[in-house]
Structure 1
Amino acid sequence: MKVIFFISIFFIVYAMVGYPLVLKFLYQFLKKDSLIVDEKYEPYVSIIIPVYNEEKVIEKKLVNLMELNYPQDKCEIMIASDNSTDNTNLIVKKYISEYSNIHLVEVKNRKGKTNAQDEAVDRSKGEILVFSDANSILENNAINEITKYMVNEDVSYVAGKLVYTNGDLNRTAETESSYWNYDLEMRKIESELSSITAGNGALYSVRRNDYEKIDPIYSHDSIFPPKFVVKGKKAKFNPNAIAFEKAGENLGDEFKRKIRMSRKIIKINFVDFQKYNMKKCGIFSFFYFSHRFCRNFLFLFHLIALITNVFLINNTFFLILLLLQTSFFFCSFLGIYIHNKYLKVFTYYTMTVLAQLLGAYKEITGKSKPFWEIAESTR
């Protein structure tokens, strides 16, 4: 029982503290991956935006896309509407009448974001497929940046950098923004040494010839990077390809978003299992195990640590450890009601682990769905 307890604690600490330190250590000694960067590379690009009832932000998104530095005659904009029931489609059609490179793909039966993206890809013609969310505002040179790594034929996927715009205005958003920046530092190192283990939906590109349709319950940003690495390709991070978004400004929105992100928190670790084969994937396998596998199972490690600790309380040392665990969760509870940035860190972390647990429960009970609901405070 003691061994199980300490193994669980080790993986919790390793996932959140140990791995980032190991990664920084490795960065000092390992050879960096080299890429050709061609600033003049301008392939024909299909910009694909999946939407569901985005009438509040879709016009701003379209204006943003039309103002990008990338040549308009070298890109098309595909709005993939997942059976929207508000005025989203009407707003898009208004812009279609003014701009010939904007297209609306109306998905008749709502099947989720990934399916909507698939339907748009089927009707697109770009050599490079660029994906972005409706509420993400791209920096003017974002498309130029997200495509220039694609001059390397072995690069199949490039993720941009998501920047939260309200991180200094709201405690919940500030905590999410801080955690995200911490994660981006790891992605940058992983990319420079090998490949990133996951992307983000705000901005990423995929080479058309490498694009694959996946089970719509999953998302591209979690499936594509390891899938491409297993096939001998690379998935990179370009910090100069920037997209801006609002982070969730209340715990309710952020909690729902994280539950949705955890809808396949268990099975995702076993898709393309060769990603753990270091003979095939090199140090990427270590990155994936440490950054994804260990973090994806934080809910399980915490559950095991708590349960085993209860059975060990006849020992004073373990009684103290149980009090520390319960104190941690009590501080997390206080952080919901008390506006203190340190308590918010406890709250945010516990919320993430709890969202994983609920996501795992939904997955096990067959209740996971590919649909997404809008988090209003991110709009």
Structure 2
Amino acid sequence: MTVTAILAGLSATFWALFLYPYAIYPLVLGMLSRRPIHPRPIQCPVSILFCAYNEIECLPAKIDNLRELKAACPQLEILVYDDASTDGTFELLAGAGDLLKVVRGPGRTGKAAGMKRLVALSNGKVLVFTDANILLAADLVERLLPYYGDPQIGGVAGTFRGSAGQGTVTSSVGAAFLSLDERLQIMESRTGNIMGASGGLFSVRRELYPDFPDTVQDDFTVSMSVIFRGKRLVKAPDVVAFEKTIARREEELSRKVRIGARAFHTHLFLRPQVARMALRDRMKYFSRKMLRWFGGVFLALGAVFALAAVATLSVTAAAVLAAGALVAIAISLRSSAGHLAKLGEMGLAIFATLFGVVQGMRGRTKATWSPAKSR
């Protein structure tokens, strides 16, 4: 085998690893056996919990939305943790005392600490976790509870219907990533378990809520605990939430870095339990989570080995390809519309996640958050 063929093979391998979570993994899921869900009507107390920090702009719509849910389910309990907001968030929430109970933190403690405090104060047997900027379908409780009529179901993730905010490249790419994740979770759910749930909307049986440090991702840790305890974590297409994607690039990249760092930090905490999962679930975890985290590495190495393979045939051709690629990248990052701009935005998101993961590998993580203002 020639050097050119070896380098081309390495390039193809790394690009296949990069594409696997997006293009090949769905094909693998399609070949797995199905595990049906057996819903049946039940009645039990439900608590909706969310944390807020400087969310004054989105809270009026959120409060109106919660009133709709309360009207549909008068027994619904709603608790909110205010993480020492400074913009009037606490005062606005406190003014809705007929609808919800608000707990004010002693200072910036972060979402994980806030959620744990709310769980301790709640009475629901089914705990529903959401975010301040997420709007929930009015029939959420009615749609959700039958899933818990199946004794094998321990947790249920909602389905997001996203909109591209202000119509920027950043928001449209964010909506595309959200749509892809939704489709993958539906396929995962059909074959057993999904690999974690988004904090925007998911629920668990109260008895499955775990203990964990404040520095990890609470949504991923809590939802994965369902699988660790031998129950199913599934996707509910009819339990719906609505979310606007972030419109500003700098906010979205900062969010990707923060999530990447906390995701790897959380992985280190959960690693012993992940290792004890069933083989099918370990395959899903590796495919859905770990390969994505290092997608930037695979993409870069694929390009480097491709150029090296071309260079063995013609150094000039390799130099021209490298220059052309750099020009295309520069144009994509400066463009505000079109397919090239979207590819550039996707690349930035992939490398921002990788940067965050590297921070997590170096022991850096962040327990607190600041809401994006461009949703």
Name the TM tier (shorter chain): 0.7 to 0.9
Displacement after TM superposition at 1:366 (Å): 3.8
Question: How many residues align structurally?
Answer: 368
SS at match of 1:150: helix
DSSP 3-state at the match of 1:377: coil
Instruction: List per-residue Cα deviations over 1:285-343 (Å, max 9, x = no partner).
Output: 22111111111121332344456667667413898678667755653442333233311
Specify the SS of the correspondent of 1:68: helix
The answer to whether structure 1 residue 133 and structure 2 residue 131 are counterparts is: yes
Match of 2:25 among 10, 13, 19: 19
**1:7-41 CA distances to partner (integer Å, 9 max, x unpaired)?**
433311223322123323x1xxx432122222x42
Matching residue of 2:50: 49
Contact 2:164 2:174 (8 Å CA) reproduced:
no
Aligned ranges for residues 337-376 of structure 1 at < 5 Å? 337-376=334-373
Match status 1:34 vs 2:40:
no
SS at match of 2:87: coil
Q: Are positions 1:192 and 2:194 aligned together?
A: no
| Matches of 1:129 and 1:287, distance apart in 2 | 25
1:121 is paired with a residue whose SS is helix
What secondary structure is seen at the aligned counterpart in 1 of 2:124? coil
What is the CA distance between 1:88 and its match in structure 2? 0.8
Give the secondary structure class of the aligned counterpart of 1:316: coil
Paired residues for 1:298-317 under 5 Å: 298-305=295-302, 314-316=311-313
Bigger drift between 71-80 and 251-260 goes to 71-80
C-alpha spacing 1:46/1:12, structure 2 compared with 1 (3 Å): same
Whole-angstrom distance in 1 between the partners of 2:322 and 2:266: 28
Distance in 1 of aligned mates of 2:191 and 2:167: 35
The residue identity in structure 2 corresponding to 1:334 is I
**Equivalent in the alignment of 1:252:** 250
User: Secondary structure of 1:131's partner?
Assistant: strand
> Identity rate of aligned residues, in percent?
23
Q: Which amino acid aligns with 2:355?
A: L
Partner of 2:81: 80
Output the CA distance in 2 between the equivalents of 1:62 and 1:357: 36
1:161 is matched with which residue: 136, 159, 162?
A: 159
Q: CA deviation at 1:272?
A: 3.4
Matched residue of 2:371: which SS?
coil
Give the Cα–Cα distance (whole angstroms) in 2 for the partners of residues 129 and 31 of structure 1. Answer: 30
Q: CA distance change for structure 1 residues 124 and 330 in 2, over 3 Å: closer, same or farther?
A: farther
Q: Secondary structure at the match of 1:77?
A: strand
TM-score (norm 2): 0.88
What CA distance in whole angstroms lies between the structure 2 residues aligned with 1:269 and 1:310?
A: 34
SS of the residue corresponding to residue 161 of structure 1 reads strand
Give the 3-state SS of the residue equivalent to 1:36 in structure 2: coil
Instruction: Find the counterpart in structure 2 of residue 151 from structure 1.
Output: 149
Q: 1:163 corresponds to which letter in structure 2?
A: R
Partners of 2:165 and 2:323 lie apart in 1 by 29
Moved more, 173-182 or 315-324: 315-324
Give the direction of change, closer, same or farther, for the CA distance of 1:45–1:327 in structure 2 (3 Å limit): farther
Do the aligned residues in 1 keep the contact of 2:131 with 2:200 (CA within 8 Å)? yes
Residues 240 and 69 of structure 1: CA distance in aligned 2, closer, same or farther (over 3 Å):
farther
How far off its partner does 1:83 sit?
Answer: 1.5
Deviations 1:165-198 (CA, angstroms, capped at 9, x unpaired) = 2368333222211222122111101001111012
CA contact (8 A) 2:26 2:187 kept: no
| TM-score (normalised: structure 1) | 0.87
Q: Using the alignment, how far apart are the partners of 2:157 and 2:320 within structure 1?
A: 42
Letter aligned with residue 95 of structure 1: A
Q: Residue 85 and residue 169 in structure 1: after superposition, are their counterparts in 2 closer, same or farther (change >3 A)? A: same
SS of match in other structure, 1:345:
helix
Query: SS where residue 235 of structure 2 aligns?
Result: strand
Give the number of the structure with larger relative contact order, counting CA–CA contacts within 8 Å between residues 6 or more apart.
2
Residue 69 of structure 2 aligns to a residue whose secondary structure is: coil
More deviation, 163-172/197-206: 163-172
Contact kept? 1:43, 1:74, Cα under 8 Å? no
Residue 55 and residue 267 in structure 1: after superposition, are their counterparts in 2 closer, same or farther (change >3 A)? closer
Task: Report how far residue 134 of structure 1 moved.
Answer: 0.5
Secondary structure, counterpart of 1:56 in structure 2 = coil
* Deviation of the 1:78 alpha carbon: 0.3
Structure 1 residue ranges without an equivalent (≥5) = none
Match of 2:107 in 1: 109
Equivalent-residue separation in structure 2 for 1:321 and 1:289 (angstroms):
34
Contact 2:56 2:89 in 1 (8 A): yes
What is the alpha-carbon distance in structure 2 between the residues aligned to residue 147 and residue 325 of structure 1?
Answer: 56
Cα deviation, residue 268, structure 1: 4.0
Q: How far off is 1:61 after superposition?
A: 0.8
Per the alignment, in what secondary structure is the counterpart of residue 266 of structure 1? helix
**Paired residue type of 2:157:** A
Could you tell me how far apart the structure 2 residues matched to 1:77 and 1:317 are? 66
Distance in 2 of aligned mates of 1:20 and 1:158: 21
Aligned to 1:286: 283
The residue type paired with residue 351 of structure 2 is L
